[in-house]
């Protein structure tokens, strides 16, 4: 795995993890009963974004290490997904 491939893999895992972590424990304006005029009741009031970014990074590092280890060890390779035998 090249450095570029490792960075791309980490970026993809990080953003997918962020999309999972963002809605966890969010408090909306509707939940708190303080809706600002002109905004939706589902708009976040307390989002803890900095904490969620750190959580996302921690989870992503662990997942990336597992996936990168599997790729580098050769347990799974691109040829395992060559169902049409185009790689020879």
pTM: 0.80
In terms of residue numbers, what domain contains 52? 3-81
Indicate whether 88 belongs to any domain: no
Residue 65: the pLDDT is 97
Q: Does 26 reside within a domain?
A: yes
pLDDT digits (tens, 9 = 90+) for 38-81: 988 888 888 889 999 999 999 999 999 999 999 999 898 888 88
pLDDT score recorded for residue 44: 86
User: Would you state the pLDDT for residue 78?
Assistant: 83
The answer to the question of residue 86 being in a domain is no
Q: Does the pLDDT value for residue 19 go beyond 90?
A: yes
Domain count across the chain: 1
> How would DSSP label each residue in 5-71?
HHHHHHHHHHHHHHHHHTTTT-EEHHHHT-PPTTS-TTSEEE--HHHHHHHHHHHHHHHHHHHHHHH
């Amino acid at each position: 795995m090249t450095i570029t491939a490792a960075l791309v893999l980490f970026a993809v895992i990080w953003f997918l993890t962020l999309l999972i972590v963002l809605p966890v424990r969010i408090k909306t304006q509707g939940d708190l009963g303080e809706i600002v005029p002109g905004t939706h009741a589902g708009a976040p009031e307390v989002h803890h974004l900095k904490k969620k970014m750190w959580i996302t990074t921690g989870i992503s590092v662990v997942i990336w290490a597992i996936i990168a280890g599997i790729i580098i060890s050769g347990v799974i390779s691109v040829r395992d997904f060559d169902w049409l035998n185009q790689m020879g």
